[in-house]
Amino acid sequence: MLTEVLEVFALPRLRSFVDCTLGAAGPSSAIIEAHRELELFVGLDVDPLALDKSRARIEALLSDGSRDELRAYTHVRNFKYIKAVLDGIDENLLSEGVDGIFLDLGLSSMQVDHAERGFSILGDGPLDMRMDPKGTLKAKDIINSWPETEVGRILRDYGEESNWRFLQEKIVNARNGGGLHTTGELSDLVRKASARSGGRQGWIKTATRVFQALRIAVNDELQTLENAIYACFDCLSSGGRLAVISFHSLEDRIVKKTFLELIEVGEGQEDKDDFTLYKNDKFVTEEQSWSKQIVVGRNGVIFTKRPITPCEDEERTSRRCRSAKLRVIQKH
């Protein structure tokens, strides 16, 4: 959804930009190239391996000396600490605010493709699933040591898995034989437990939900996301924008709900459903065709009452992209 992200941040002047999920720095490189006026770039990723690559990519972009006015920083840091990071860079930054903040949630292909990180259903690696290699909780701790009811709760609430009771029982029973220690063993258990629902697609879908549930728990993803959205909104300048791409309904629900809480829609401040009426008004310019319905509140405006989703072409070429939802908020 690079085109859409570039459109969202096509502000008249984007002087400062924070990419909270730098990954391989795809969108960040495009933003840096598109905005010659950019004075400050900050990239964060909780995964040091991702950051090594993206740091080199950004340095290469700036190496020709034509962007001397741009200060660029990359930090290995969880995005929930965005305020501390910005404060550490420049003590005036929090009061001035930044013009653009971007979160592209989930895993990078680098993380999924390295079986030893423990995220891959089809590869075989340790049951790890930490995005931050310094984190203390691994998936194997949940699988082999957490109370049975907690294992069930995670499968039900974070995996939205209808067969959670049966899987919970199978996982806990496996402890009698020494427990599960690899992603291959967990996938095998899910495949056998899903034999009744039949077919490769059946068990892979179940395994996707089980792996998602564990990953969310290991990295405390949902609470982190909610806290981070509040922190990011605080860090915006007046007129600054926060854009979040989520990949499953649990994340999207949090983004949608938190945005609404942040802007504080009061009585008489109705949704501006008919976008055409508001073209060229204070909030929506002619170029903003990506924003179909807006919601205006006391503190800001939501440009995506309905989220932006990938175009058909993109859905066809990228499986991961199919479930992507982009939501955008702007601070008054």
Ligand X SMILES: C[S@@+](CC[C@H](N)C(=O)[O-])C[C@H]1O[C@@H](n2cnc3c(N)ncnc32)[C@H](O)[C@@H]1O
Residues making contact with ligand X (CB under 6 A): 20-21, 23-27, 44-47, 50, 78-79, 104, 106-108, 131, 224
Pick 29 or 182: Cβ nearer ligand X: 29
Pick 107 or 296: Cβ nearer ligand X: 107
Write down the least CB distance from residue 52 to ligand X, Å.
11
Query: Do 157 and 134 contact (CB within 8 A), yes or no?
Result: no
| Spatial CB neighbours of 205, under 8 Å, sequence gap ≥ 6 | none
Write down the least CB distance from residue 138 to ligand X, Å.
16
Write down the least CB distance from residue 28 to ligand X, Å.
7
Pick 50 or 294: Cβ nearer ligand X: 50
Pick 17 or 203: Cβ nearer ligand X: 17
Q: Which residue is nearest to ligand X (CB)?
A: 23
Pick 129 or 190: Cβ nearer ligand X: 129
Write down the least CB distance from residue 165 to ligand X, Å.
30
Write down the least CB distance from residue 104 to ligand X, Å.
4
